[in-house]
Structure 1
């Protein structure tokens, strides 16, 4: 039944019922109208309006649900759909909207994949240039400073040694930047070793207690999946250091059924669901890239838990 005929039918039922009551009820209207007759007429009008409003609310309820979904839908949280039963304009509208969401989610996933791949390629290029150009230049400066310090007398030698230490610290910082931009251990030794190195550096620089819980035997993952897991763990630890005001964090990686789950749980002040910033949105983009699900929820006791769940790749 179309929307027009549905609304027309609902009003016809209400008006027909009112007409039948007027025809067969023993109530008459005097001139002038008596108080009891006015009360009966006004009461009947109120009942008729309430019944009409209730029926229209029932008939238009699918449109209300559709409007609510339109205003709250988030393409970074795929799978939000409305059920459409039967025929008519409303059901067809809901099916069309669901199909549009499907296309938008696919296009978003494709565009996000292109952006993330380009971003990783740019990270790799910058890391390579930092390693080859800046790193080698600073190494040459250190060697020159050492030769100059060995040949210089006091107090110039002490000043040169101080410059050496500053240059060495700068070189170490460049190397840390290179590892953050493109973790070579991820390519060479795999995800578990890369996460171990990441958490070790994080604990050393922040002073937080890091507990690692990694399964010893994990299934083989694609290069894209390993990179997404690493980047999500990296961003989660960065958020812990910046915002959580925590004392410790647990990083876990394990297999659950046909999925691999990464969780980063801190004991800090927690996060509100409405406070998702660019970092969490970026993690959702990466999760979408590999078809994974990202959940940011309060931890079981206190703090925040970031949980990334990805299905294992199908064997050919």
Structure 2
């Protein structure tokens, strides 16, 4: 998907910019100042779209996962998260025997990233427990905070954007997402992902 975004849509945007440039050159003599301003706005929008496509393509699978591996990237992200938000991250990572497939590694990282971003935005927490462990044929990823939990005893909507994205990523690999929360008792999110056969590093 990232390659499709970059190669297909990126090329079409480049072609669009070229065509606008040709129109600009042909109409330059008769163009009013207002029309020129409008074309300038079009150029700006195209440039912004190109940047967005590159960012989305990169975000789908960060290059660091290929360069460093999942666990070092999660460790790095946790350190950055703590430094930025002042939230202590307690880690229990016991995944030495898991040889993460690329798709699984991407989902694990995105779940950690989104869940901890939600902590920073909504929880008011001072501490987060991050776990990545193996449980039989599954990898369990959990993020639990000591924040305020959901107000009025209501859980967040199942279709809220961040949770929806995590559910869809997990479901695509045959996994599932679970939530446990209550007012004043923090928020805990857990994702169970089945591991492919042969994922043990033997």
Query: Fold-level match, TM-score > 0.5?
Result: yes
- Structure with more of its chain in helix, by fraction: 1
- Equivalent residue runs for 1:265-276 within 5 Å: 265-271=144-150, 272-276=154-158
Instruction: Specify the structure having the higher radius of gyration (Cα).
Output: 1
- Equivalent residue runs for 1:164-313 within 5 Å: 181=59, 182-215=61-94, 217-271=96-150, 272-276=154-158, 277-298=160-181, 302-313=185-196
How much is the aligned-residue C-alpha RMSD, in angstroms? Answer: 2.6
Gaps of 5+ in 1: 1-117, 130-176
TM-score between both structures, scaled by the size of structure 2: 0.64
Gaps of 5+ in 2: 11-54
Whole-angstrom CA distance in 1 between matches of 2:156 and 2:123: 16
Matched residue SS, 1:235 = helix
Matched residue SS, 2:129 = strand
Check 1:218–1:315 CA distance in 2 against 1; reply closer, same or farther (3 A cut).
Answer: closer
- 1:216 Cα deviation after fit: 5.2
Highest relative contact order (Cα 8 Å, sep 6+), 1 or 2? 2
- Equivalent residue runs for 1:1-316 within 5 Å: 118=1, 120-121=2-3, 125=6, 181=59, 182-215=61-94, 217-271=96-150, 272-276=154-158, 277-298=160-181, 302-315=185-198
Whole-angstrom CA distance in 2 between matches of 1:253 and 1:294: 14
Runs of 4+ in 1 over 6 A off after TM superposition: none
- 1:274 Cα deviation after fit: 4.7
Aligned length in residues:
146
- Quick check: 1:185–1:193 contact (8 Å CA) kept in 2? no
Whole-angstrom CA distance in 1 between matches of 2:97 and 2:63: 20
- Structure with more of its chain in strand, by fraction: 2
Deviation track 1:179-215 (CA, whole Å, cap 9, x = no partner) reads x835332112211111101111111111111111111
Check 1:242–1:274 CA distance in 2 against 1; reply closer, same or farther (3 A cut).
Answer: closer
